[in-house]
Structure 1
């Protein structure tokens, strides 16, 4: 856009300069020629009365003086053929003047002016003035150079003003684009400059209003989710007290462990609801996955499931909050227990991702995906559940700059691949 504005202004200024500069240059040339001709005519006409009233002895010095003091060549042709002043050929125009007709014409190297005169005896003569081109166009070149320099200055000034205007428009547009990208990344504190030129300032104000409204709606949503999650703590506390009152210590410990898991999930929901965009968006995938696998291994032993682990040593930093990553791993492993029969083996693999980040693979030898279903869609499930498990994993992958892939191996079962990107340096 900046180049287009500069090109438009340059073309406009050039058209204006051409429209005025060319006629002005022609006028300067015409005025210079007219001034030179007027001066030569006045000098020649000053000799006319002398020819009619002065004898030859007095006339010759007068003509010589006029010829010496002017830049033009002055010649006086007498009736007897004598030439006073600058020697000059008897041109056809001079012959015409000798017969009583005054005229002027362009000749090689200048302009010739002839005035018909009469001496004291009423005999015909002629005064010839030759004005060379240097005298005709004296000062024209300098005037044209000054006019060209002024045109260049006007063009440069127009381009400078246009560049400043274009820069302000481009900067304002770039600022709007940058603010939009920051808002898209979740930085709701981003604001555009409402003092941008013209309509861009209106757009900036509208964008700021939209960002403010989004922030307000998200704040209300966070508070509502946090309040709802906080209310769940009361029945959880009652459930914990009931578990502790059980006579069987092992059963009490098992139920208390489940209550602790729900408590952690509720706490994570509250923290996530109150978390501001962009804060705490990183975690060590190796530590989180290892911790959650250890938790689920206890249940795997109770259900006689063989577990194959291939976990890379950490740290493996990823762009995902710790609570979100824990919920994601729990969702993937929980699906194995919820949708496969007891005794079904599964495997968990964690490896570094090329280019940074981590790649988590959870595979099992269960019945696989029901035909014609997309369990990654929110609320969709082929097993009678809420359908939120894989959606949690998908959203964690999307927010972490990665992806979630579901594969059905030829041998059967389900293979879930979760990729998470590394945090920005």
Structure 2
């Protein structure tokens, strides 16, 4: 807006001030020429009436008082006043008996023909220097330039205030949009700021934020309800475990059922909890899940190699989501490789991010297996998809290279 106003006002000022400046210059020239012409005409009236001595004194006095030198050329060759050689203009005026002006590079020549004299036509010559033709023009132009600059600055100030009135509400809308994208669904844009169009956008954004909040609430409730429905079959599973005659086997099954119950409880609580800027210690979560899976790995004869950076390693994801991602990656190792196949878990701290690497000694992922990590890819398992969504929720990503899976988690999403 500032550039637009500057360009528009500059064009208007140029269209207004340039002709005015030229008019002022022409006016100054006309005033100087008119003054010299009046002086020459007054002396021309004395040529026919005054005697030679009186005329000489009058011309000398006029040259002293005026900045325009005056000379009178008589037909017999006599010159009264400034001793200036006869110019072509003087000869032309004497021959034709006419009065006119002649423009020169250094000024303007004024010629007045006086006819009816016994000896022939006399010519009164006055010369206006260039500096007199331009007298006061420079100062007038400076005043015009100052007025134009002042008007331009005033226009820019008004344009700046108008731009602020439009841009400030738009910046507020951008800040509200950023807050909404970060998960702060309670943030709303002021609906009374800015022009009508901006207010309409603010109202639409507020309705959109409310709609998103309602949809997320419904989704969380649906997830919580679905998890709650699993309570009944889990209860039946617990009863079946308690009825096992072998006490050790019964205790082991009950432990698994209890773990499943805790997982369902965590899912229900997580679905009903507002998620704003979650954070956990990746070192602690990964170490706990590796210790859990190491027991099963020992039973299956799998060699486990761990390289875990010391904590704390804060990442922008909840402990439950990160634990689910680690379980999904390690579960893939146990599900898709033979017993005795070793694997490695590495956790590295990088500037601004943390990298979790799970690598096994199996054949690795082919294109079809890797597609399991995408919902709707035709797979019944969503382990890689869980890990991928966990990484992307922090602004990171999941990378698969053969049997090596790298999970990049950012500290600040």
Q: For the superposition of Structure 1 and Structure 2, which TM-score range results when normalised by the shorter chain?
A: 0.7 to 0.9
* TM-score after normalising by structure 2: 0.81
Q: Distance in 2 between matches of 1:47 and 1:313?
A: 110
Cα gap change, 1:418 to 1:112, in 2 (>3 Å): closer
Matched, 1:229 2:227: yes
Q: Which residue of 2 aligns with 1:85?
A: 81
Larger displacement relative to structure 2 (80-89 or 321-330): 80-89
Cα gap change, 1:65 to 1:363, in 2 (>3 Å): same
Q: Distance in 2 between matches of 1:86 and 1:371?
A: 109
Of 37, 46, 60, which residue of structure 2 is paired with 1:41? 37
- Please report how far the alpha carbon of residue 272 of structure 1 lies from its aligned counterpart in structure 2 after TM superposition: 2.2
Q: Which residue of 2 aligns with 1:412?
A: none
Matched, 1:67 2:63: yes
Task: Report matched runs for 1:205-354 at 5 Å.
Answer: 205-233=203-231, 236=234, 240=238, 243=241, 248-279=246-277, 281-300=278-297, 304-312=300-308, 314-315=310-311, 316-340=313-337, 343-354=339-350
- Is contact 1:332-1:362 (8 Å) kept? no
Q: Which residue of 1 aligns with 2:394?
A: 400
Deviation digits for residues 323-342 of structure 1, max 9, x if unmatched?
0122222223334444456x
Structure 1 unaligned segments of length 5 or more: list them: 409-414
- Is contact 2:287-2:308 (8 Å) kept? no
Of 388, 409, 413, which residue of structure 1 is paired with 2:382? 388
Cα gap change, 1:389 to 1:251, in 2 (>3 Å): same
Q: Distance in 1 between matches of 2:254 and 2:372?
A: 31
Of 397, 403, 408, which residue of structure 2 is paired with 1:420? 408
Larger displacement relative to structure 2 (24-33 or 242-251): 242-251
Q: Distance in 1 between matches of 2:390 and 2:237?
A: 30
Structure 2 unaligned segments of length 5 or more: list them: none
- Is contact 1:10-1:155 (8 Å) kept? yes
SS of residue paired to 2:306: strand
- Is contact 2:28-2:136 (8 Å) kept? yes
- Is contact 2:297-2:304 (8 Å) kept? no
Q: Which residue of 2 aligns with 1:363?
A: 360
Q: Distance in 1 between matches of 2:381 and 2:249?
A: 29
- Is contact 2:364-2:404 (8 Å) kept? no
Q: Which residue of 2 aligns with 1:51?
A: 47
Q: Distance in 2 between matches of 1:239 and 1:53?
A: 143
Q: Distance in 2 between matches of 1:357 and 1:138?
A: 79
- Is contact 1:397-1:418 (8 Å) kept? no
Cα gap change, 1:34 to 1:235, in 2 (>3 Å): same
- Please report how far the alpha carbon of residue 19 of structure 1 lies from its aligned counterpart in structure 2 after TM superposition: 3.2
Cα gap change, 1:115 to 1:134, in 2 (>3 Å): same
Deviation digits for residues 168-206 of structure 1, max 9, x if unmatched?
767766666665555444444555666456755544543
Cα gap change, 1:37 to 1:403, in 2 (>3 Å): closer
Q: Distance in 1 between matches of 2:295 and 2:125?
A: 127
- Is contact 2:183-2:276 (8 Å) kept? yes
- Is contact 2:76-2:119 (8 Å) kept? no
SS of residue paired to 2:48: helix
Deviation digits for residues 13-43 of structure 1, max 9, x if unmatched?
4443443333322222211111111112222
* TM-score after normalising by structure 1: 0.79
Q: Distance in 1 between matches of 2:308 and 2:297?
A: 21
- Is contact 1:319-1:420 (8 Å) kept? no
SS of residue paired to 1:37: helix
Q: CA RMSD in A?
A: 3.7
Deviation digits for residues 64-121 of structure 1, max 9, x if unmatched?
3333332211233455544333333333433444453222212453222222225786
Q: Distance in 2 between matches of 1:297 and 1:126?
A: 125
Q: Distance in 2 between matches of 1:371 and 1:103?
A: 101
- Is contact 2:25-2:137 (8 Å) kept? yes
Cα gap change, 1:23 to 1:402, in 2 (>3 Å): closer
Q: Distance in 2 between matches of 1:11 and 1:392?
A: 56
